[in-house]
Amino acid sequence: MPRRGSSRSAAGRDSQGRGTTGDGDAPERRLGGISDARSYTPRGRTVRDAGRPDRSADPFRPALQVLDGGRKGPVRRTPTQPARGSDRAGGRDDQDGTAGRAGRDGTGRAGSGRAAGREGAGRTAGGPERGRTGGNRAVRGPGVAPAPRRGTGRTATDRKQPVRPHRKPRPPKLASPNRRLRFGSFLALTLFAVIGIRLIVIQVVDTPAYADGGLAGRLSNPVVIPAPRGTIYDRDGAVLAHSVEARYVYADPTEVTDPAAAAAALSPLLGIPKSQLLPRLVPQKRPDGNESQFEYLARGVDIDTAKQITGLNIAGIGIHRDERREVPGGDLGANLIGFTGDDMHGLEGIEGRYDDVLRGVNGERIFEIGGGDLNKAIPDGYLKETDPQPGSSLVLTIDRDLQFEVQRILSEAMARVRATTGTVVVMDIRTGEVLAQASHPTYDAANWKPSKPTDREDVATSFVVDPGSVHKPIVFGAALEEGVIAPDGTLPVPATINKGGTTYRDSRNAQGAQMSLAGMMAYSSNVGTIMLADQLGPQRLHDYQLRFGLGKPTGEGMPGEAAGRVLDPKDWNGSSPGSIPIGHSVDVTPLQMTAVYAAIANGGTWVQPSLIRETVGPDGTRTPAAAPETRRVISPENAAALRTVMEAVTTVPGATGLKAAIPGYRVAGKTGTGSRVVDGRYAPGEVASFIGMAPADNPRYVVSVFAHTPGGGGGDIAAPTFKDIMAFTLLHYRVPPTGTEPPEFVVFPK
């Protein structure tokens, strides 16, 4: 069977290559060249090719067969072509080129023979031959019946069916380039619009977010700008403690190239041994596992010293602004003022108690820095700076000059009597202001680290003692106020008195004689005082103890002030009616007892002691301290009578407080000998005390002296110290001498 696209037409060719028609009537035509080659299509000849000479000799035939793929199969026919199964050039014969297939009979049945013929064999179209043309199908001539359909052997006429007109197949609809262009343009414009909108959003709407996101990686760590700490002044504006600008020295161990050499160079300038500096200069790990890049070497370094360190150009050593707390007086009022830590936070004393007032709010500076080797601030770059807010200042009630003299006198007296602990309080009776409050031992607040914790205690508010006989004026005042005894009354005072199995006696035996109230005060009669307390009763005595301020802190302003203890009557034991009136089984502080005597001197009105006079804000605004608490304890008349009775202590011959007398001034007071209470137990030794007021006829100041010594009474140890301090106080404040003489006291009226 001839290949598709390569079968011959119904017209044969002769031996000379000339083509003839099927009936032999058509004139001879020769075709050749490119134009003839173009006449062939992969599906065979068209209608135009019908009647043309045979082109089997066309030299382009093999090429066209290759283009058609050389395939065999059915050939699509045009409306003018005969149906498949119509006449074909017959078979092939390599010998004679005769027809290879038998023609069809009159019924249209095809024969079975096949003629073969190649070279020189022509094809006729006389009878309906079955077969296919190679590249061109047989075309019916005039009067020739249509070829039968393939596979039926019958023509359309035999089947008596009308021949349907065959529509020319439409070529496939090609894509429109205009549509593609429009779609591509729309897509491109859409993309450009989306990108443009997004750029506008990024650069206009989201600019701060993106800018900040990039900025975060270029910002430095916050640099703290220390806020100046408030100053502590005395009552006259003299500086007791203030802050000055300084520098701190730090090291980055990762950059220190020679730690040993750096330690040797810094040691003499910082005053720190090399053995302490070297561990901070060598590389070390922090608890989180990272290498330490910052170690403090010294805080509060003088600016001049810092400049010298900067001049050394030691790798890894840096200097930065700092603040240093200075106490010009050194140990002047140190136990009151206290100190701050390296971070400028108050730790003890007034610095600790009022840290929230004195300490300001630090500022900070954040700036943009370069990376790598350019780790410096970028000029005109991002900079955010928060100004520090300085702290407020405090004006104390303390008088610097008086404080200095009190401390000097106390220190000399404590050394003379070998006292381990001592204190002096000087108070203005009208206002409750503490003018001086000294402690022994003391320390240098400007260099507090070498001191012992016990040296830094404020003895006046933390020293808990059994007051001893200085407690007796409370009993006498209560007795006068309650009418138990008159100012000029007397009592028969026996040699001893027994309470709960404990015998109490006097150092000066009255042997049952009538003794005046002034005499009992002058000789510090234990028996007479217990007898007065018996007439008062436990509950009334307890009430007056509380009204005079015992059993709770005074609220002066010092941190950690002790409250003391006063036994409730229901807690008294058998000996309590004898011990409590004379100042035993009562826990007090020196400041509490000073306030008791100030109430007697102030006409019977108790005034809360105070250390803070006013607060000065950063803008200079002055705010006075809150008014002190006051309360009436005894009447002014009874207070005046009690002061007169107490003058007997410094004037009656043989009285316990003669060493407290000050020439030219009337002095009222009381001596005492008690015990120190430590952790609820009595410590070895005795606490000698004297508390007095002057001028007695018009009191201005109260001075109390307490000293814990190996032994000795208040008259011998504390009274002389009181005299020196009170005399200086009266002179310092220019109090004129008393114009009257003290009264003549009768101890044993007849």
Q: Which residues are catalytic?
A: 469
Distance CA 346, CA 353 (A): 8
- In sequence order, the 6+-apart residues with CB closer than 8 A to the CB of 265 are 312, 314
Distance CA 406, CA 723 (A): 11
Distance CA 564, CA 550 (A): 7
Locate 501 and state its tokens.
Answer: 């199995």
Residue whose C-alpha is closest to residue 334's, from 463, 432, 422, 457: 457
- In sequence order, the 6+-apart residues with CB closer than 8 A to the CB of 681 are none
CA distances (Å), origin 222, targets 213, 225, 384, 385, 730: 17, 9, 10, 9, 55
Residue whose C-alpha is closest to residue 390's, from 357, 437, 367, 350: 357
> Could you write out the three-class secondary structure of 389-453?
ECCCEEEECCCHHHHHHHHHHHHHHHHHHCCCEEEEEEEECCCCEEEEEEEECCCCHHHCCCCCH
Locate 194 and state its tokens.
Answer: 């989306």
In this structure, which long-range contacts are made by residues 100-108, counting pairs with CB atoms below 8 Å and at least 24 apart in sequence? 101/129, 101/130, 101/131, 103/127, 103/128, 103/129, 104/128, 104/129, 104/130, 104/148, 104/153, 107/158, 108/148, 108/153, 108/154, 108/155, 108/158
Cα four-point dihedral sign 302, 303, 304, 308:
positive
Locate 392 and state its tokens.
Answer: 């407020």
Locate 116 and state its tokens.
Answer: 């073969």
Distance CA 545, CA 552 (A): 11
Q: Is 46 exposed, middle or buried (0-12, 13-18, 19+ CB in 10 A)?
A: middle
| Percentages (nearest 5) of helix, strand, coil residues in the chain | 30, 20, 50
Distance CA 319, CA 300 (A): 11
577 preceded by a cis bond (ω within 30 of 0): no
For tokens 């009474």, the residue is: 713
Which element (helix H / strand E) includes 715? helix 714-732
Distance CA 84, CA 265 (A): 116
172 preceded by a cis bond (ω within 30 of 0): no
Distance CA 6, CA 56 (A): 9
Locate 16 and state its tokens.
Answer: 């000379």
717 in helix, strand or coil?
helix
Give DSSP secondary structure letters for 495-561: SEEEETTEEEE-SS--TT-EEEHHHHHHTT-HHHHHHHHHHH-HHHHHHHHHHTTTTS----S-TT-
- In sequence order, the 6+-apart residues with CB closer than 8 A to the CB of 642 are 473, 476, 477, 480, 487, 600, 634
Q: Are the CB atoms for 494 and 527 separated by under 8 Å? A: yes
CA distances (Å), origin 613, targets 189, 394, 397, 700: 80, 8, 5, 18
CB atoms inside a 10 Å sphere around CB 257:
9
The residue type at 261: A
DSSP code, position 86: S
748 in helix, strand or coil?
coil
Q: Are the CB atoms for 120 and 145 separated by under 8 Å? A: no
